[in-house]
Amino acid sequence: MSTTPEQRVAIVTGGSRGIGRAVAERLAADGQTVAVVYAGNKTEADNTVAAIREAGGRAAAYQADVADEQAVAAVFDSVIAEFGGVDVVVNSAGMMALAPLASFDLDVLDRLHRTNIRGTFVVNQQAARHVRPGGAIINMSTSVTKLGLPTYAAYAASKGAVDAISLVLAKELRGRDITVNAVAPGPTATALFLDGKDEDTIDTMAKMNPLERLGTPEDIAEVISLVAGRGRWINGQTVYVNGGMVA
């Protein structure tokens, strides 16, 4: 599998399903070669790659725990060896766990922060070392950092760190023509959001924005496509993508 010199190459972590899969498919439709990084579900990752190829795009799957610096470095090395470089990195891998702060399991807190904070740091570290000029680094945040919903303290705290990492890295990459942003979805119809919620809760959250519906993975992928491509003047921002729930 080869690319032309002009073709951009994207790495999408968490790319086997949900928002990550929609992003992988959208970037491929934009003409980018996509490396789909998955934690453990090889079948879903292979399905994503197959869908991209069937649509005429280029893609390959790679396994890595985003919090494992050696595994992530190996993915970047493999992608560069196979496709010639890296232009876009979308860190969509994440974990959600909900419970009141007073009763939150601290072992779960450690696992959540390992994926959402350490994982973001590790992926961004490799991206900062390898993304070519004209590229983009995009991290997945959440609108819950502003909404402050009960039971979301641990998750929101981890994503607040994502916002901070993104802003600081954007400034550290001064002069390299690389943008760094966080994209913060509102409630989006993915397994990560829907699991464990009853219909009344889902309906209530869907109506919290003026458009009165849940977001779709494609809604989020549309914005990431812009930030990863022609939206070069968007840099060091947390972009809220939630139908008007919060600004």
Low-confidence ranges of the chain (pLDDT < 70): 1-6, 192, 247
Q: What is the pLDDT of residues 5-27, one digit of tens each?
A: 468 999 999 999 999 999 999 99
User: Strands 59-63, 86-91: parallel, antiparallel or unpaired by DSSP?
Assistant: unpaired
Query: Can you give the pLDDT at residue 177?
Result: 98
pTM over cut 0.85:
yes
Question: Which member of 38, 62, 155, 240 is catalytic?
Answer: 155
The helix (run of H) or strand (run of E) holding residue 135 is strand 131-140
Residue 199 CA to residue 221 CA, distance in Å, equals 25
pLDDT value at residue 247: 63
Domains of the chain: 9-241 (3.40.50.720)
Return the structure tokens found at 10.
């994207």
155 catalytic residue (yes or no): yes
Sign of CA dihedral 215, 220, 222, 223: positive
Is 91 in a helix, a strand, or coil? strand
| Amino acid making up residue 159 | K
pLDDT of residue 6: 62
Q: How many contiguous H segments (helices) and E segments (strands) does the chain have? A: 10, 7
d(CA 95, CA 92): 10
Q: Is the dihedral of CA 191, 195, 200, 204 positive or negative?
A: negative
